[in-house]
Structure 1
Amino acid sequence: MAIPRILERRGVMEGGTQGRVAVITGATGGVGAAVARTLSRSGYSLVLTAPSMEKLSALAAQLKGPCTVIEGNLSDESLPETLLYAALDRFGRCDICFNNGALFEAGIIETVDIERLSCMVRVNVEGSFRVAYVFVKHFVSEGSGHLVNVSSVLGSSVRPTPYAATQRAIEALSDALAAELDDGEVLVSCIQPGLVKTGLHHRWEIAREGAQGTGYPLEPEDFARMVLFILEQPGLKHEEDQSIGAETAASQEQAEGGLSTEVKEEVAGYRDSESTEEETSDAGEKGFVQDEI
């Protein structure tokens, strides 16, 4: 078992969140980093994890408030508890888990690498499930907390892929947890955006904005503002059955510079994901994208 490298960074708390503490997996990808910066500016203390300590350190240097960064990979079954214990040890509490890490494997039946495909399933499903249950179990013991799972519009897409199957699993898990916790103070959200401008799409051609009904790709900062909106709703309960189209949200964000009234009214059910970054490795040339985890 690899021993995680941990780095602490002191900072000045700002904002009005009363020192809330959030753990973010996939922290150095496009969305993960945007969420980290937004929450830090809003007064949250953070525990961040991703595979690269270099990227984590660079992100930590951009943050306003205190944070702890932990180099790790969701294939390590001990990582979720390491993250939780780091939050409790450093800050004395943990209020939010932003469950955001994933792998992406693409390939047709004749050429797909089964080992890489299986690795994606272990990380996206088993790894994310471990994160979810470790943190929800803690939240239940404390009587409060908020798990935000990151899925993808591909989880309910008419273009099925193995990656889409793993994202659908996250959505089913979110529904199951929300149903089990229905009358409690522990919250579960699952956000499912469409196209987001992150490193995951470095190898994809992004359609011209607005062309052929594709809508407008979200900027990571748009996504981060929506996450903050969800986290700061007083008395927010489980709204996982509501939904709003990613293209609509993206159009509203870019047109108005923030969440519209329509988006705000339904944002609790706006399912979330696609917040990762491509690793610069030989694997990328072979169609395997290592997302931030």
Structure 2
Amino acid sequence: MRRFEGKVALVTAAAQGIGAAVARRLADEGAAVVVTDPQEDKLGALAAEIGTEALAVRVDVTSRDDVDAAVAAAVERFGRLDVVVNNAGGCLIAPSPEDTPDELWQAQLDLTLIGASRCIQAALPQLVKHRGNVVTISSVNAIGAFGNIEYSAAKAGQIAMSVNYAARYGELGVRFNVVAPGTIRTPIWDHQPGTLERFSKLYPLGRVGEPADIAAAVAFLASADASWITGHTLPVEGGVLTGPGGLDLGTSGYFKKEY
């Protein structure tokens, strides 16, 4: 399929994991892709792999200047911007919910929620002009009780933000949707041998997710196949939300500020 022929997409946190899989999928379907991330070496390698229809831009989403510059670079290079995939984020671990300092709350919101808002704000003129859309990568943490309260709240905020943007900009033809992944096999797990295998037993489908699973959902929601879908959250989670829940991923201690 070439559902994105003639379209331009910007993907945040694209150097590895979900973001890299999304960038590859959109490029495979015909999009010119602007890949952004603070990790310049990995980002450059991804852009080189995708080819001439890829542009790598170093972006920290906590910097409005970085975000604005990335959107400007996309328009300068490709002449337009049609799709934004908000993938940047991370989980900042607090000692306990009762002891979380204000500074950590602020840092978590700045990275995960306000960072996504910055990308939307910067891209809106282009999205309105070209009747584009935004897909934000949230988490099952936004829907169920899986621990990491500050991270979960920021992810839930992404859903509320997207619903309100969808209502506000629908009459202009701009769509906003969310994908909520379960546990995905990404590099953050590399230093915890056996953890994903243990988690896989909690999923009715018998495995954790792969980045390609999320990329497929993003490609659908960002495409014309979903042209009458806006303001919705699509859980891509192997059925974990149908189970007993209560898995506190925060007890693993693996999360840190990471893309």
Q: Does 1:168 align with 2:156?
A: yes
CA contact (8 A) 2:134 2:222 kept: no
Name which of 196, 200, 203 aligns with 1:206. 196
Q: Distance in 1 between matches of 2:56 and 2:49?
A: 13
Q: Distance in 2 between matches of 1:248 and 1:203?
A: 26
Match of 1:178 in 2: 166
Q: Does 1:18 align with 2:5?
A: yes
Do the aligned partners of residues 195 and 214 (structure 1) sit closer, same or farther apart at CA in structure 2, a change above 3 Å counting?
farther
Q: Does 1:122 align with 2:110?
A: yes
Q: Give the secondary-structure state (helix, strand or coil) at the position aligned to 1:61.
A: helix
Give the deviation of 1:64 after TM superposition: 4.1
Q: Does 1:220 align with 2:211?
A: yes
Q: Give the secondary-structure state (helix, strand or coil) at the position aligned to 1:81.
A: helix
Q: Distance in 2 between matches of 1:290 and 1:171?
A: 21
Match of 2:247 in 1: none
Aligned ranges 1:86-235 → 2 under 5 Å: 86-109=73-96, 115-140=103-128, 142-160=129-147, 161-202=149-190, 205-208=195-198, 210-213=200-203, 215=205, 216-234=207-225
Q: Distance in 2 between matches of 1:127 and 1:99?
A: 9
Give the deviation of 1:113 after TM superposition: 6.8
Do the aligned partners of residues 217 and 146 (structure 1) sit closer, same or farther apart at CA in structure 2, a change above 3 Å counting?
same
- Given residue 22 of structure 1, which amino acid in structure 2 is its aligned partner? A
TM-score normalised by the chain length of structure 2: 0.82
Give the deviation of 1:193 after TM superposition: 1.4
Q: Deviations over 1:64-105 (max 9, x none)?
A: 442111112112111221111111100111110111101211
Name which of 229, 233, 240 aligns with 2:231. 240
Q: Give the secondary-structure state (helix, strand or coil) at the position aligned to 1:189.
A: strand
CA contact (8 A) 1:151 1:191 kept: yes
How many residue pairs align between the two structures? 242
Q: Give the secondary-structure state (helix, strand or coil) at the position aligned to 1:173.
A: helix
- Given residue 178 of structure 2, which amino acid in structure 1 is its aligned partner? C
Do the aligned partners of residues 41 and 213 (structure 1) sit closer, same or farther apart at CA in structure 2, a change above 3 Å counting?
closer
Q: Deviations over 1:128-187 (max 9, x none)?
A: 1111222124312x1511111111110122234110011011011001011112333111
CA contact (8 A) 1:51 1:73 kept: yes
In terms of fraction of residues, the more helix-rich structure is 2
* CA RMSD after TM alignment: 2.6
Q: Distance in 1 between matches of 2:64 and 2:56?
A: 18
Match of 1:289 in 2: 256
Give the gaps of 5 or more residues in structure 1. 1-13, 250-285
TM-score normalised by the chain length of structure 1: 0.74
CA contact (8 A) 1:178 1:238 kept: no
Match of 2:250 in 1: none
